[in-house]
Amino acid sequence: MRGTFNGAPIRDVIALKISGSPGRVVLRALGCPRPHLEKQFALRSEAFVKISVHEIEGTVVGYDRAAQEGVYEVTIQTRD
């Protein structure tokens, strides 16, 4: 899947796990993020994500550059 993270293109999204309301969203993507995108993943920063039919607003609460080999993961706490 493809989408945007705060307006920056994000590619190779392989999973989008949405749980609870308000809750958490875990986004997983292949490879390493480009430097301009990785700056968007700072903890406690605002996040607006569009992936497929999903629009998610919240705060970044986790970022793991190597959640699994070749995969990075961003966790967002959603708003009410």
Q: Which helix (H) or strand (E) holds 61?
A: strand 54-68
14: left (phi > 0), else alpha (psi -120 to 50), else beta?
Answer: alpha
Q: Containing domain of residue 23, as a range?
A: 3-78
pLDDT at 69: 81
The predicted-structure confidence for 4-60, as pLDDT tens digits, reads as follows 999 999 989 999 998 876 689 999 999 888 888 889 999 999 999 999 889 999 999
pTM of the full structure: 0.88
pLDDT at 42: 93
Domain count, the chain: 1
| Residue whose C-alpha is closest to residue 74's, from 51, 48, 41 | 41
